[in-house]
Structure formats: structure tokens, C-alpha cells
Homo-oligomer: A and B are copies of this chain.
Amino acid sequence: MNDNKKEIVRLLKESEGSPVSGQEIGEKLGITRAMVWKYIKALRKEGFDIRSSPKTGYILDSSPDRIDPGELKKILQTSLIGKDIRYFSELESTNSTAREIASNVSEGTVVIAETQKKGRGRMGSEWQSIAGGVWLSLILKPAIPLENVSKITLVAGIAVTNTLRNMDISARIKWPNDVLVNGKKICGILTEVSAEVDKVDHVILGIGINANVKLSDLKYEIRKNSTSIVNETGNTVDRTVFLANLLYELEQQYIRFETKQFADIVDEWINLSDTIGREVRVTTPHKLIEGKAVGITERGALVVLDKNKKRQEIIAGNCHYSN
């Protein structure tokens, strides 16, 4: 948005519902009333609901719910993550775009889209990514061997969960990478990697959060297991502020991952876990394991004590709760 439009929105917001005249706006901005009118029409096209009456002036009834990348940069308190933000109204998939640019951008670059046409979940599943959500992909370039990549998913799960809990939303992590509130999915994480066996080129953390998503706009099969921030709290969240908080948490957790013992992260993950202690059924391409989830290993594998009290470690699979 250009500066004049931003300034008009600011003036209308400041007046908190009292009308502001075109003349007053024009004088403050040093532009003609005709130009003010032109900007008002442009703002309406962008989704701002602006009433006008020739006698009294303009009133802002509502603003479109859009992420403001300029504002995000301004309020962001990170030194690595989000220093380069690529913001789009719509993408096929933020992860796909991140993959395309990953080799040519610096670590910490974030791709954000208002909507995704082909949002992806784990193992090729669909992820419905409609207006109001937070759909982002974070490009990381950690100096780790391939086998440590799954740890990064745990790190991301903790960051999302902490961001939600700081808003008094009782989020918990379902292994391997969903964040639940009251048993319903509020966030999914898709970790993709390009690597040599010895050395990761880049990891892409795709994070999808049903922030201001209206559940009634979701397909039934998705809706029945989903929730959103607005559904849990009754209020829409300012997604720009939410993103600033999320990227800050991601950076804190990533710094901890790079500098501290991984055991600390495992401990915190277990504290935030929705899965540990439950009876679970885990399906992998090759087998089905039933038993009690008792922990995770340092590699991020779920530890299940099966019916024969045998300890099973599962690095990848779909987890269902039996009770």
C-alpha cells in the first residue's frame, strides 16, 4: 500500500468511527480532495469498508483482514528469522515456492501467502488454506547431518505451541507434528529437506495455522477435526502481530537447538505433548504398532510399549489415539 493510502487508513482509524472530512484528509496529506476520493475508491477495492457522506466525511467501518508485511518487518524482534520476508496474496503452496528459491536466499527467509491453492500436508495430503489462516514456510540452513532433520520438526512444534499458549490457548503437540487444542487440529507442520547424507543444504518448515479461519468455511471432513484461534477465543487475531510473535518463538527455539543439549528440547516437547501417556495405534508403510506412547528419543522417534511390553521406536508414521 502506498503512503497516502496508509495515512488515510491511519486517520480514519484514529477517529474511531467519527467522520473525517475529505478536506481535512487532503490538508493533512497535502493533496486535493479529488485525490483523496481516488484513494478512498482504491481502498474500498482492497476490502476496506469506508462509508462516505458529502456533508460529514468518511468513516471506516472495517478493514480487510490482511497481513501487513511492512508492519511485520517493523515490529519483528528477531535477528535471523524473517529478515527476508516474501509475501504473496496467493500461492500454489508456500513450501513449493520456498523450495524454488531456497538455494538463492539466506537462512531465515520466510514465504507467506494469504491463501494457498494447493496447500500440502504430510505425505501428499491436502491442507485447506483459505483466507484468514497463517500459511508460511521458513527456510533454514543448519549445519547438521541428514539424520538430525526430524529434530527440527520438534523444535517447530514447540515454537507454535508456545506462541499459542502465550495467548492463553491450551495448545498441545500430537506426535509427530500437529498442534491440537482440545483434541482438534489448529496447526500442521510439514518439514521438507534437500541434503547430502553428510550435510543438509536446506530445511523448509511449512507451518499452517488456522488463525482466523471460520470453521464453517472448511470442508466437512477437515472441519470435524479442526479448530482455529478465532473459534477457541471468540476473537480474530491480528495476524501480523501473531506472525511477529511466532517468528520470535521460532528463532528462540532454533537458537536453543543450535547451541544447547537436545535433551532439553526433548524434555520440553514431552511437557507440551498430547501423545505421551496415551494408548496409540501408529501406522507406517510396513506395519501397525499398538500400545502405550511412553516417550520420544533424541532422534524424535516415538517410543511405544506394545502389548508384549516390547519397546518400539517409530521414526515416521501416522498416530491415532485409541482412547
Contacts and interface: CB of A to CB of B under 8 A. Distances in A.
Contacts of A122: 196, 198-199
Given A196-B191, A316-B199, A150 B143 contact: no
Interface in A177-197: 177, 190-197
Given A194-B193, A196-B122, A198-B316, A147 B150 contact: yes
Contact of A195 (B153, B192, B196, B285): B192
A5 interface: no
A299 interface: yes
A316 B123 contact: no
Interface string A188-228: 00111111111100000000000000000000000000000
A168 to B, nearest CB: 30
A22 B193 CA distance: 60
A87 B191 CA distance: 34
Which of A190, A198, A284 has the most chain B CB within a 10 Å cutoff? A198
B198 A123 contact: yes
Contacts of A149: 146, 197
A284 B194 CA distance: 20
A193 B146 CA distance: 9
A315 interface: yes
A229 B123 CA distance: 43
Contacts of A108: none
A145 interface: yes
Nearest to A95: B196
Contacts of A192: 194-196
A298 to B, nearest CB: 12
21 contacts: A122-B199, A123-B196, A123-B198, A123-B199, A143-B285, A145-B284, A145-B315, A145-B316, A146-B149, A146-B316, A147-B147, A147-B150, A147-B316, A149-B197, A150-B197, A176-B197, A191-B197, A193-B193, A193-B194, A193-B196, A198-B316
Given A146-B150, A194-B194, A198-B316, 13 more contacts: A122-B198, A123-B196, A123-B198, A145-B316, A146-B146, A146-B149, A147-B315, A147-B316, A176-B197, A191-B197, A192-B195, A197-B316, A198-B317
